[in-house]
């Protein structure tokens, strides 16, 4: 909190004081990065200090966040982050990779990566004294805001497209948010939420608009480096460990931008030696950023999104520029995968790794497999794949991937013939 200085626009580079803006750059509408005072952080914090913390949540990184503690202890805000990293050594051998890890962010309190962002936005909302926070969401950002707002007793309003999967809508409702299903797509809900926030004096959490979402999301990069240090047996007092490549699914592009910022910050602090190559994976049916990457341009053209991975189904990515640079500035890449590859990855993760991912979560794993085929990663690489959401969010997609279980008579003979079938 004390190290929060102001903002810098990702388009024009202009810097702003803390109180000069709330969302995007007044010049050009560009997304802004929160600027922190790294010299101050170096003096007040260290890898050893953080490693000694008994707080196993995103709040162990409070020294690197632009908010004060929202009073998280003993509430679900305390369960955000510090999600497990699994060592997929059998898969690494099968794929010919040096090492392969999977970090399961489906295990956050509302079962997606979005809790990281919503927890920090709710902390910011409390500290600025706004009465209501609103967000547009394909489901997960809204569920995360509704859940984290409930944990902090803060009123939330959620606008989701009326096509959002039922489990996600149920989550919005149960956390007591005011929920409205918009007769339109996510982009329509986005525009309406911005208009409503401005007209009604509410705080808008929207992804790729509110600068504090990326601040929450960067904590996953911190965790990756700190947790891998523990897993490879590197002393946590000095530098933390960095994988060679990180794979993450991309819709609006805010998760990948947040991860990139997190790695850059650890590098600026001298706590890691280098930034990993970052690979953004999109669905072929929603590939605006991957298209720009392939065309070698920073101009991101909207698409008519059509993919079963609803959490990454986006016509116009709201954080496209920073998301593109997360790959181009780190030597990573963008790849697009088919819906079928996404479903296959869901099944493979469930069966071989015991992780139940939603389609947008398994997309990163599907992309990692394409990267192996294309020779982008190989025997020299230590690779970490993010799963961004739980499969319980969208059981329709998992049933589509696995087919239905047969119904049988409650008789041994029936079981035996079904086993043979
Ligand atoms: C939101 C979301 C993403 C994509 O994040 P962006 O910031 O929109 O790129 C990926 N997976 C899941 C499960 C999500 O909810
Ligand atoms: Zn600007």
Q: Provide the mean pLDDT of the chain.
A: 96
* pLDDT for the residue 235: 75
Q: Which percentage of the chain shows pLDDT scores above 90? A: 92
Write the pLDDT tens digit of every residue in 208-266.
999 999 999 999 999 999 999 999 988 776 789 999 999 999 999 999 999 999 999 99
Q: How far is the CA of 7 from the centre of ligand 2 (A)?
A: 10
Write the pLDDT tens digit of every residue in 263-298.
999 999 999 999 999 999 999 999 999 999 999 999
Nearest CA to ligand 1 atom 14: 311
* pLDDT for the residue 234: 80
The residues placing their C-beta within 5 Å of ligand 2, an ion, are 9, 11-12, 25, 27-28, 30
Q: How far is the CA of 356 from the centre of ligand 2 (A)?
A: 40
Q: How far is the CA of 34 from the centre of ligand 2 (A)?
A: 13
Q: How far is the CA of 113 from the centre of ligand 1 (A)?
A: 7
Q: 3-class secondary structure for the chain? A: CCCEEEEEECCCCCEEECCCCCCCCCCCCCCEEEEECHHHHHHHCCHHHHHCCCCCCHHHHHHHCCCCCCCCCCCHHHHCCCCCEEECHHHHHHHCCCEEEEEEHHHCCCCECHHHHHHHHHHHHHHHCCCCEEEECCCHHHHHHHHHHHHCCCCEEEEEECCCCHHHHHHHHHCCCEEEEECCCHHHHHHHHHHHHHHHCCEECCCCCCHHHHHHHCHHHHHHHHHHHHHHCCCCCCCCCCCCEEEEECCCCHHHHHHHHHHHHHHHCCCCCCCCEEEEEEEHHHCHHHHHHHHCCCCCCCCCCCCCCHHHCCCCCCCHHHHHHHHHCCCCEEEEECHHHHHHHHHHHHHHHCCCECHHHHHHHHHHHHHHHCCCCCCCCEEEEEECEEHHHCHHHHHHHHCCCCCCCCCHHHHHHHHHC
Give the pocket of ligand 1 (CB within 6 Å).
Answer: 112-114, 140, 207, 249-255, 311-312, 358, 360-361, 388-389
Q: Which ligand is nearest to the CA of 29?
A: 2
Write the pLDDT tens digit of every residue in 328-344.
999 999 999 999 999 99
* pLDDT for the residue 233: 84
The structural domains of the chain, ordered by start, are 76-111+214-402 (3.40.50.1100)
């Amino acid at each position: 909190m004390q190290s929060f200085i102001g903002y810098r626009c990702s388009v024009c580079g202009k810097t702003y004081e803390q109180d000069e803006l709330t969302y995007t750059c007044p010049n050009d509408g560009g997304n802004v990065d929160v600027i922190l005072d790294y010299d101050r952080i170096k003096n007040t914090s260290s890898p050893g200090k953080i490693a000694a913390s008994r707080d196993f949540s995103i709040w162990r990184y409070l020294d690197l966040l632009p908010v004060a503690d929202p009073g998280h202890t003993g509430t679900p805000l305390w369960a955000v982050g510090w999600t497990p990293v699994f060592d997929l050594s059998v898969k690494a051998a099968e794929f010919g990779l040096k090492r392969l890890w999977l970090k399961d962010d489906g295990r956050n309190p509302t079962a997606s990566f979005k809790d990281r962002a919503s927890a920090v936005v709710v902390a910011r909302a409390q500290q600025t004294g706004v009465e209501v926070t609103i967000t547009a969401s394909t489901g997960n950002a809204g569920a995360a805001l509704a859940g984290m707002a409930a944990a902090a007793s803060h009123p939330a309003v959620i606008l989701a497209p009326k096509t959002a999967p039922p489990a996600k809508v149920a989550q919005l409702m149960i956390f007591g948010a005011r929920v409205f299903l918009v007769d339109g797509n996510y982009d329509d809900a986005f525009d309406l939420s911005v208009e409503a926030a401005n007209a009604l004096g509410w705080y808008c959490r929207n992804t790729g608009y509110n600068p504090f979402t990326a601040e929450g999301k960067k904590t996953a990069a911190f965790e990756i480096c700190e947790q891998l240090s523990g897993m490879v047996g590197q002393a946590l007092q000095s530098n933390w460990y960095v994988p060679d490549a990180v794979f993450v699914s991309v819709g609006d592009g805010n998760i990948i931008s947040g991860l990139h910022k997190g790695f850059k910050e650890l590098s600026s602090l001298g706590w890691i030696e280098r930034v990993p190559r970052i690979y953004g994976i999109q669905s072929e049916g929603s590939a605006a950023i991957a298209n720009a990457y392939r065309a070698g341009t920073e101009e991101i053209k909207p698409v008519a999104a059509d993919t079963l991975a609803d959490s990454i189904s986006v016509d116009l990515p709201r954080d496209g520029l920073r998301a593109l640079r997360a790959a181009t500035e780190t030597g990573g890449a963008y790849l697009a995968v088919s819906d079928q590859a996404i479903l296959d990855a869901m099944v493979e993760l469930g069966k071989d790794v015991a992780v139940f991912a939603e389609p947008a979560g398994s997309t990163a794993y599907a992309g990692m497999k394409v990267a192996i085929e294309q020779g982008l990663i190989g025997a020299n690489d230590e690779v970490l794949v993010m799963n961004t959401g739980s499969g319980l969010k969208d059981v329709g997609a998992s049933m589509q991937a696995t087919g239905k279980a047969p119904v049988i008579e409650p008789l041994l003979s029936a079981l035996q013939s079904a086993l043979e079938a």
